[in-house]
Amino acid sequence: MDVREYIMKNLVKTTLLFFVAVAVFTACSKDDPTPEGPEASEYTKKVNKFIYETMDDVYLWYDELPNINYKYETDSKAYFNKLLYVDDKWSYITDDVDALEASFEGTEKTYGWSLAFGRFSNTGNIFGIVEYVYPETPASAAGIKRGDLLIEMNNADINDDNYTDLLYSDNIDVTLGVLTGDGIGADTTIRLTSSVLTLDPVLTTNIVEHDGRKIGYIFYAQYISDFNSSLDNAFASLVNQGATDLVVDLRYNPGGTISAAKHLCSCIGPLDVVNDNSILVTYKWNKKYQDYFIDRQIMSQVEVYFDNQVPVKMGLEKVYFLTGSGTASASELSITGLRAYMDNVTTVGDTTFGKYTASITLKPEDYYSEEYSEEIANWGLQPIVLRYANAAGVTDFKDGFAPNIPVYDDLFATFPLGDKNDPLFKAAIEDITGTPVVAMKSVPKVHFEYQIFDRGFSRYDQNKREMLIEQIQRPE
C-alpha cells in the first residue's frame, strides 16, 4: 500500500482534535546522534518510537525536531517535551488516553464545580472560589453555589502542593468561608465524593427584558458536539420568547469540538452567510500535509464552513460574548469566525486566552498494527498540527482578544449566571439598550488583598484548549 492509498484509507477518524483526519505519512528516519547514558527498556523504546514517528509525521513544526536518539531516553514524557518547538506551549502527552477522550466528550470524574484559585497577600495561603456549579452533581447536592469560598481542605490550609486536589481528588472535606468585617471566617465543613458524570455544557438560558429589548442569554461551559441539541433547545427557547438580542457567556469556556463551534456560529450568523455555507475558518498544516490536500483539492481538510442545516437560525447582525482569561480555542474561533461577517461582535469582560493553533489526538493504533500497539495502547499524543485563520485572514492572536468593554469578573461580588446584575451581563445589557441597569441589592466589600493565580474545572483543562472533531468525511 503506497502513502496516498494509506492516507485516503485513514481519512475517517473519530475523537480527533480540530478539523483534521488521521493521515499517516511514512516517518523519515534521521541519523541517530551519539547516545549518552544507559539504553531505555524495550517498552520505553516502543513508546518513544511512537512519539518520534508521530511527531515527524504530522507535527506542525516537524522540520524543527531536534536530533535525539530515542533509544536512550528513559522517560517518555520528558523525551516528548524535548521534541517540542520553542513556541509550542500546547502539545501534550498522556499515558491515560481513554480518560482524556472521555473528558473531551463531557464525561468527568468530578465534584461538579469550576473554581478560581487565589492567594491571600498577608499569609500566602490559598483559597478556592466557585465560578459555577453543574446541576445534579456532588457540589450542587451539597448546596454549593457560585461565589462560595473554600478556605480549608481536610482540616488543613490549602497550599501550592495540594490546591488541585479540590478538582482531582476522589473525596474531600472542605471548609467554606464567610466574609467578615476584617477578612474571612470559617463556616461549615462539607464532605464531598467525586462522581463520574456526563455534563451538559448549556447550563443556563435566560431572557432579560430591559428598555423595550428582549435580551437572550446562554451560558456555555464547553464545546461538546454531543450536546449540539442542547444549543438547539436554548436558541429555540430564545426565539420562541421573542429575543431581540443575544449574549453568549464564554468567560470560563476552554474550547472543545470544531463541530460545536460551527453549530453555534451557524445558529447566530447572518442568514445569507449561513445559508451559503460560507467559510468559517481556514487552516494551514505542515508543508507535506498542506501540499497534499491542496494538490488534490481536498478542501474539506483546509476549510471549515457554516452549516445551513442547523434547525434554529437567529440570523443576527450583532452578538455579544462575555469573555475572560479562560476563554480559549473554540470560543475564540467563534468570536473571530463571526467577526469576518458581522460588524458588531462585541466582547465584554477580560482578554481571552490566545489560542490560534489546533491539535489532534493520536494513539498507537493509528500508526501500528493491533498486535504491535496493544502493549502501549494507553499512550496518546496531542501534537499541534495546524494554525487557523478566519475568512478575513485573522490569525496568530497569541495575546488573545482584548475586550471591547472591559469589565472585572469579581467573584467576591457574584450574582447567579444570567442575572442582569452580574457585572459582565449588566455591561452588555447597558451597551445594547443605552440605559443603565439599576442594582437591586448591594454586595459585600472585601477588606483584604488577594491575587487570583489559577482556575480550572478538569485535569484536562489544558487539553480542552484544543479543538475536537468526531468525524470527517472521507474524500472520494
Domain layout of the chain by residue ranges: 109-198, 202-356+387-439
Give yes or no for residue 323 having a pLDDT over 90.
yes
- Kindly give the interhelix angle for 258-268 and 228-240, rounded to the nearest 10 degrees: 10
Helix, strand counts (H, E) of the chain: 14, 24
Say what the pLDDT of residue 106 is: 66
Sign of the torsion angle spanned by Cα atoms 277, 222, 337, 390: negative
CATH topology of domain 109-198: Pdz3 Domain (2.30.42)
Residue 447 — very low, low, confident or very high, per pLDDT cuts 50/70/90?
Answer: confident
Give yes or no for residue 6 having a pLDDT over 50.
no
Q: Please report the DSSP string for 314-378 in residue order.
A: ---SEEEEEE-TT--THHHHHHHHHHTT-SEEEEEES------EEE--B-GGGTS-HHHHGGGTT
Give yes or no for residue 78 having a pLDDT over 90.
yes
Give yes or no for residue 107 having a pLDDT over 80.
no
Give yes or no for residue 466 having a pLDDT over 60.
no
Say what the pLDDT of residue 229 is: 97
For domain 202-356+387-439, say whether CATH 3.30.70.270 is its number: no
Mean pLDDT is highest, among 148-152, 288-292, 448-452, for: 148-152
Grid cell of 334 as nine digits: 467563534
Whole-angstrom Cα Rg for the chain:
24
User: Which pTM value belongs to this model?
Assistant: 0.86
Grid cell of 474 as nine digits: 472521507
- Portion of the chain with pLDDT greater than 90, in percent: 68
Which amino acid is it at 287? K
Q: Contact 379/95 with Cβ under 8 angstroms?
A: yes
Grid cell of 346 as nine digits: 462585541
Q: Count Cα neighbours of 413 within 13 Å in the Cβ-side half-sphere.
A: 16
Say what the pLDDT of residue 232 is: 98
Say what the pLDDT of residue 440 is: 67
**Per-residue buried b or exposed e for 205-244, using 16+ beta carbons within 10 Å of the residue's own CB:** bbbbebeebebbbbbbbbbbbbbbebbbebbebbeeeebe
Region of poorest pLDDT, from 20-29, 95-104, 180-189, 437-446: 20-29
Say what the pLDDT of residue 476 is: 37
When the pLDDT of each residue in the chain is averaged and rounded to a whole number, the result is 87
Q: How far apart are CA 329 and CA 460, in angstroms?
A: 14
Residues facing residue 318 across a β-bridge: 344
Mean pLDDT is highest, among 27-31, 107-111, 318-322, for: 318-322
Average pLDDT value for residue range 373-391: 93
Mean pLDDT is highest, among 21-25, 256-260, 348-352, for: 348-352
Give yes or no for residue 129 having a pLDDT over 90.
yes
Per-residue pLDDT tens over the stretch 276-315: 999 999 989 999 999 999 999 988 889 999 999 999 999 9
- In terms of pLDDT, which residue wins out, 217 or 120? 217
